[in-house]
Amino acid sequence: MGSPAARPVQHSAPRGRTRNGTGASGPVRRALGPQLIADLEKLCGRPTIGLFDVAKDLAAVALAAWAGHLVGHVVGTLLAVVYIGVRQRHLSNLAHECVHSKLIATRGANRLVGYALTALLGEGFLPYRSTHAVHHAKLGSDDDPMFQSYKAGNIWAARTARGRLSFVLRFIVRAALWRLPTTAARTLVTKAPEETWRALAARAVLWTTAVATCWPFDAVGAFLLYWLVPLVFVRPVVTWITDLGNHAGLILNEDVLLQTRGWSSHWLTRHLLGGHLDDMYHPVHHWCPQIPWRRLPEAKDLAAQQLERWDEVPWCSGYFARRRSTSETPCVIEDIIARLSATPAHYPPRARGAAA
């Protein structure tokens, strides 16, 4: 898959601005062909409204917290916490854009915003950038953090799932009760190997400043309830659900066109699980990681028109259930179960995926 570290030919541009190439790897370029790559490069212009996206997500968090506090009832509070966790996942999608230097026009600004977003989310920017580069470059290998997360979730055991409900209970609900929140809490309070002590200190200062700002207004409890609780208990679950949709059942495939899944759905699922489109159009992102998230639908349309093997690309309709308008197309959960059921009965002792 295309590596975020790839360095395509730089077009004429002001110093410090991100490159216009697609970031496609050699195997992807050969699979897509020169004409499609050339057309996709036209979608890689420099974004100018990335800060608006960040502000919109943060405003949605503040509005949800205000609504939860105003309602007061436990149901209103729980709904607010869940929705804030969803928007935190949206913010992590924007941090992902920064990792690929495509949220804002300059590389320096992407780094700055990326550091701020990951700090707010209790993570380090450098560890995220490092592990994400490995994910793109070595998808499906033992080093791939996504493959490691699937191993931690024992996802290959889903070949015995007796349907969608069984899958959701065994591999989503069970993970949400212990593994995911404990991992999130550990990440929040520990230093990753790739993270510098300076970055860790800056993260601590940011959180201390947030608490100190809330203190005079007697809002520390509200901050912990409406930011820390969803960060530990909700956002990891949303991330795990979207991660499953991205590669589960496909990650061991060595064909660059068949390692990643895309999907479509109705507006509510799109909003909750498809924030900033990357997860919904994940094949296109892996092929050409430099395409900004707003241009992914256009990129998918171009690929559907020009790519001879487009019908082979895994694409689902609906996430937990099939959409009535496309009832012949499996939903994501069905596709995961079917593909895992077709894998060998033994647990793969080693991933086969190589760098792409």
pLDDT one-digit tens code per residue, 114-137: 999 999 999 999 999 999 999 999
Mean pLDDT of the chain: 90
CA 271 to chain centre: 14
Query: Are the CB atoms for 124 and 200 separated by under 8 Å?
Result: yes
pLDDT one-digit tens code per residue, 300-323: 999 999 999 999 999 999 999 999
CA 300 to chain centre: 18
Query: For residue 20, what pLDDT is reported?
Result: 67
pLDDT band per the 50, 70, 90 thresholds, residue 352: low
Query: For residue 191, what pLDDT is reported?
Result: 87
| DSSP result, 292-327 | -GGGHHHHHHHHHHH-TTGGGS-EEE-SSS--GGGT
pLDDT band per the 50, 70, 90 thresholds, residue 4: very low
Neighbour-count burial for 176-197, b at 16+ CB within 10 Å, e otherwise: beebbbebbbebeeeebeebee
Query: Are the CB atoms for 246 and 282 separated by under 8 Å?
Result: yes
Domain boundaries, given as residue ranges, for the chain: 26-341
Q: At what angle do helices 145-152 and 235-247 cross, to 10 degrees?
A: 110
Could you tell me where the beta strands, DSSP code E, fall in the chain? 262-264, 315-317
DSSP 227: I
pLDDT one-digit tens code per residue, 243-296: 999 999 999 999 999 999 999 999 999 999 998 999 999 999 999 999 999 999
Q: Whose structure tokens read 């409204």?
A: 49
Q: What is the distance between the alpha carbons of residues 34 and 40, in angstroms, rounded to a whole number?
A: 10
236 three-state secondary structure:
helix
What are the beta bridge partners of residue 106? 17
Supply angle C-alpha 61, 51, 246, rounded to 5: 70
pLDDT band per the 50, 70, 90 thresholds, residue 211: very high
What are the beta bridge partners of residue 262? 315
DSSP 190: S
pLDDT one-digit tens code per residue, 155-189: 998 888 889 999 999 999 999 999 999 999 999 98
Query: For residue 82, what pLDDT is reported?
Result: 98
Q: Give the number of C-alpha atoms closer than 13 A to the C-alpha of residue 179, restricted to the C-beta side.
A: 15
